Amino acid sequence: MKLKSEALRQSILTTTTQLLISQGIEGTSTVKVAKKLNISQSNIYSYFKNKQMLLLAVFKHHQAKLIAALQPLLELQLQPVQQIDALINGLIEFGSQQPQSIQLILLFRQQPQIRPTLPTIQDDPFFVALFTKIEHFQQLNVIKNYNAQFLAEGVFSIVVNYLLFQTTGELIDQPLSQQDAVTLIHGFLLTGNE
């Protein structure tokens, strides 16, 4: 019985993901999810208390995929710029392989009414370690001394836009390699004293 329940829960998350990407947050409802799955809406509520809890579960699901991809890179013992490059390249590769996850993380983070309900840095050991490392690199004068969250959001935005331009073919006239994207991020993030 537990396996069947987990399978249905995953189906709900997958279907909600598809609806969020195609119709946005406002266009997604538990009624639409239930209809696509050919189940009653009450089945969804047996897993998720309400739409807000379902949306939060979808966000956490995709954030967990991102963490799983980047965690090994964060644990590498490298020089600061090499560590930063490993994480940037890992984020780009993750976004190339898991475009729905990147799209959903961005979608949620861009919503002023939803953003305060999302997990914070302190809610996950990965993000605690990541921001501790960023602050350490700031103390070493490798990363610019601006708000670490702002810098991380900026890097994420550059990566997302790079991936979007690659996916849509908008870089045909002026190709931009992955290394070019990393170099752009260096200009945004690094002090130049490294």
The domain segmentation of the chain, as residue ranges, is 1-48, 59-189
Nearest one of 89, 93, 65, 61 to 76, comparing CA atoms:
89
pLDDT confidence tier of residue 5, bands split at 50, 70 and 90? confident
Nearest one of 44, 74, 40, 73 to 58, comparing CA atoms:
44
Quick one: average pLDDT of 138-153? 96
- The pLDDT mean for the chain works out to 93
Nearest one of 69, 160, 61 to 106, comparing CA atoms:
160
Q: Among 1.20.210.10, 2.60.120.260, 1.10.10.60, 2.60.40.1120, what is the CATH number of 1-48?
A: 1.10.10.60
Q: Among 1.10.10, 1.10.287, 1.20.950, 1.10.357, what is the CATH number of 59-189?
A: 1.10.357
Quick one: average pLDDT of 71-91? 96
The reported pTM is: 0.90
Selected residue with higher pLDDT from 5 and 95: 95
DSSP string, 149-181: HHHHHHHHHHHHHHHHHHHHTTTSSS---HHHH
- Angle among Cα 87, 93, 96 to the nearest 5 degrees reads 145
Tokens of 136: 């350490």
Percent of all residues in the chain with a pLDDT value above 90, rounded to a whole number? 87
Q: Indicate if the pLDDT at residue 2 is higher than 60.
A: no
